[in-house]
Amino acid sequence: MEMNVTGRRVLVLDGTDHAVPIVAGLLRDGADVTVHAATACAALEDLAQRGRLGLTNDPVDETTFDLVIRSVPRPRPQPAAATTGTGRVTLVGAGPGDAGLVTVAGRAAIETADVVVADRLAPWESLAWAPPGVQVIDVSKIPFGRSTSQEDINRLLVEHAKAGRHVVRLKGGDSYVFGRGFEEVQACTAAGVPVTVVPGVTSSVAAPELAGIPVTHRGLAQGFTVISGHIPPGHPDSTLDYAALARSGTTLVVLMGVRTLPAITEALMDGGLSPDTPCALVGDASLTSQRVIRSTLARIATDAAAIGLGAPAVAVIGDVTALEP
Ligand code: SAH
């Protein structure tokens, strides 16, 4: 059944993983979605937290909705290994969050998936392209929150592929930029599972860009350096030379660095980078909840905390952040 749901109030009475592709399709088509369920899967909770849908367990008046979806398709019976041979894994770098930034090749992979193994930062709405009855597995790795270990993820990919399925590993940004994508490739290869990789739009370039900041600009920055801030400077596991970064003359792009921003900015100033260096922090890039603040190296951490700009966010440090279009 085809119907235009744009602007319609839709109630979905299912909070499980199975509802995610349906809900994603409704959101993509501009519906005003409410999910009524005693418990909701992580993907739906994330969408609710981002203000993309309403999530409630309180009694709802069904008559106030234009459409009520009572049940969603369950995963279709999976092909057995004996009949289909070895399956395969496609790692899809799915961009910073807006489904519009998934590549054409990424979409083609999703359209032929039997199983989608997705991260929190992957664009859930792209699941609307998956075939009906696709199995969605959420393996979100939220800092300090629920998590599936990398070993478990590797095992999931291999097991489903060995059972003859096309497994799409849907990852935020590009799979090889702090995404542990290559470990997954190695795990598949070690298990004899064919694996291909679809490059993605990385947030390290897209987040600044969506905030109006070019990571390079003639006369201002002849390069950019992308670092992970998840281990703070001075930590025994940190391998970054902050004094060298301070002197690099390149735009600095920090991922996973909101919590450690005070220590990172301090280390860069200790390394000689001017406290007045223009900076920006871009949160939820490409989503309707995108927020941007501009500040200076000395003040950015305090300013971000003051307005509660949290992860996921990309910090950009350098003169390019002060450019006007
Ligand atoms: N592979 C991803 C990065 C994974 S590390 C990529 O190429 O983009 C996760 C970090 O990416 C987050 O902590 C944040 O710094 C950044 N990030 C991912 N999506 C983002 C978004 N929509 N807005 C801002 N930062 C984002």
The minimum-distance atom of ligand 1 relative to the CA of 256 is 13
Q: Which residue, by CA, sits nearest to atom 2 of ligand 1?
A: 173
Number of residues written out for the chain: 325
User: How many angstroms separate the CA atoms of 19 and 69, rounded?
Assistant: 10
d(CA 93, CA 299): 33
Which atom number of ligand 1 is nearest to the Cα of residue 254?
Answer: 15
Pick the range with the lowest mean pLDDT from 136-150, 169-183, 242-256, 296-310.
Answer: 136-150
The C-alpha atoms of residue 236 and residue 259 are separated, in whole angstroms, by 17
For residue 258, how far is its CA from the centre of ligand 1 (angstroms)? 11
- Nearest CA to 75 out of 30, 37, 131, 35 is that of 131
**165-185, pLDDT tens digit by residue?**
999 999 999 999 999 999 999
- Domain 9-69: CATH superfamily, name plus number: NAD(P)-binding Rossmann-like Domain (3.40.50.720)
How confident is the model at residue 89, as a pLDDT?
98
pLDDT reading at 163 higher than 70: yes
Ligand 1 atom having least distance to the Cα of 255: 15
* Structure confidence by residue, pLDDT tens digits, 195-235: 999 999 999 999 999 999 999 999 999 999 999 999 999 99
**What are the CA-CA distances from residue 12 to residues 37, 67, 69, 143, 154 (Å)?**
8, 9, 5, 29, 32
Q: How close is the Cα of 311 to the center of ligand 1, in Å?
A: 9
Of residues 98, 114, 119, 284, which has the active-site annotation?
119
Q: How far is the CA of 313 from the centre of ligand 1 (A)?
A: 7
pLDDT at residue 11 is higher than 80: yes
The whole-number average pLDDT for the span 187-193 is 97
Q: What is the pLDDT of residues 45-93, one digit of tens each?
A: 878 887 889 999 999 999 999 999 987 777 666 554 444 568 999 999 9
Among residues 14, 138, 256, 284, the one annotated as catalytic is 256
pLDDT for the residue numbered 49: 80
pLDDT score, position 21: 82
The amino acid that residue 127 corresponds to is L
Q: Specify whether the CB–CB gap between 141 and 63 falls below 8 A.
A: no
pLDDT above 90 as % of the chain:
76
CB distance 165 to 200 below 8 Å: no
Distance separating alpha carbons of residues 57 and 37, to the nearest angstrom? 5
- Looking at residues 185-198, what average pLDDT do you find? 98
Q: What is the mean pLDDT of residues 111-131?
A: 91
Residue 141 has pLDDT above 80, yes or no: no
Superfamily of domain 88-201: Tetrapyrrole methylase, N-terminal domain (3.40.1010.10)
Start-end of CATH 3.40.50.720 domains in the chain: 9-69
Mean pLDDT over 261-273 rounds to: 98
For ligand 1, atom 19, the nearest C-alpha belongs to: 96
The confidence band for 138, taking pLDDT boundaries of 50, 70 and 90, is confident
Q: Specify the ligand 1 atom closest to the Cα of 95.
A: 8
| 304-313 tens-digit pLDDT | 999 999 999 9
Catalytic residue selected from 141, 162, 269, 303? 141
Fold of 204-322: 3.30.950
Residue 4 confidence (pLDDT): 86
Report percent pLDDT > 70 for the chain: 94
Given pLDDT bands bounded at 50, 70 and 90, which one contains residue 145? low
> Which residues, judged by CB distance below 6 Å to any ligand atom, belong to the binding site of ligand 1?
96-97, 121, 172-174, 177-179, 202-204, 207, 255-256, 282-286, 311-314
pTM of this prediction exceeds 0.95: no
Q: Ligand 1, residues 50, 121, 182, 252: which to mutate, most atoms within 8 A of Cβ?
A: 121
**Please, where in the chain does CATH 3.30.950.10 lie?**
204-322
Residues of the chain with CATH 3.40.1010.10: 88-201
Q: Is 107 exposed, middle or buried (0-12, 13-18, 19+ CB in 10 A)?
A: middle
Distance in Å, CA 230 to ligand 1 centroid: 12
Atom 13, ligand 1: residue with shortest CA distance:
256
